[in-house]
């Protein structure tokens, strides 16, 4: 299999962490890719017309994309049970919640890096952060029992999302007001798959 990926993409990190968790590190060839919505660069647009990564060329042929689709495929292939049937809808909801954090955080980053300074919309950026802040509050108040349970894909996704906030929005200090979530993040980030995939640069 081939995975089109960049070390700084949070959605790619989620897939990479899963690959390592399920022991597929030697079964997936990493194909470097990078670009932006303004310039696709080396993104695999012939495999994913949306010009986004990660994208996975499956071992049986054909390409799939979107990190949630890829992770479900890998879980099925490995039989790793990171999407357990006993609480599947909770796991999927948590994964979608983590991805929502990432989507808002990415939009904030694009506003700063891609839009000319005189065209940046500060209120819109704060609106994106408001989504993240509400979500962090909900995780702190309603999800800790799940987060402290057996490892699943929702937890991996959330660990990657919180890591991305540290990577791109450290000044926002997401830990402030979320002590239980901060303690949980300290634990999950120690997993080898999370350590190896910490974004840098």
Instruction: Output the pTM of the full model.
Output: 0.95
- Mean pLDDT, to the nearest integer, of 186-192? 98
Show contacts of 164-168: CB within 8 Å, 24+ apart. Answer: 164/10, 164/13, 164/101, 164/102, 164/105, 164/199, 165/101, 165/105, 165/132, 167/8, 167/10, 167/199, 168/105, 168/108, 168/109
Record: fold of 85-196: Glutathione S-transferase Yfyf (Class Pi); Chain A, domain 2 (1.20.1050)
Average pLDDT score, the chain = 95
Q: Would you state the CATH architecture of domain 2-78?
A: 3-Layer(aba) Sandwich (3.40)
- Mean pLDDT, to the nearest integer, of 106-118? 89
Minimal CA–CA distance to 142: which of 180, 171, 96? 180
Where along the chain do the CATH 3.40.30.10 domains lie? Answer: 2-78
| pLDDT tens string 122-161 | 999 999 999 999 999 999 999 999 999 999 999 999 999 9
């Amino acid at each position: 299999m081939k995975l089109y990926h960049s070390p700084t993409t949070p959605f790619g990190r989620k897939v990479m962490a899963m690959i390592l968790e399920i022991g597929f590190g030697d079964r997936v060839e990493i194909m470097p890719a990078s670009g932006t919505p303004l310039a696709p660069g080396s993104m695999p647009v012939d495999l994913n017309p949306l010009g986004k990564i990660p994208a996975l060329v499956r071992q049986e042929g054909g390409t799939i994309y979107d990190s949630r689709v890829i992770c479900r495929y890998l879980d099925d292939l490995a039989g790793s049970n990171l999407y357990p049937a006993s609480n599947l809808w909770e796991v999927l909801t948590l994964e979608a919640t983590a991805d929502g954090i990432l989507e808002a955080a990415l939009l904030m980053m694009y506003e700063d890096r891609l839009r000319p300074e005189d065209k940046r919309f500060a209120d819109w950026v704060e609106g994106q952060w408001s989504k993240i802040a509400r979500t962090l509050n909900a995780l702190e108040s309603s999800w800790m029992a799940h987060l402290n349970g057996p490892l699943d894909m929702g937890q991996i996704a959330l660990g990657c999302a919180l890591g991305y906030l540290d990577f791109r929005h450290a000044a926002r200090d997401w830990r402030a007001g979320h002590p239980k979530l901060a303690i949980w993040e300290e634990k999950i980030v120690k997993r080898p798959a999370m350590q190896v995939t910490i974004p840098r640069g």
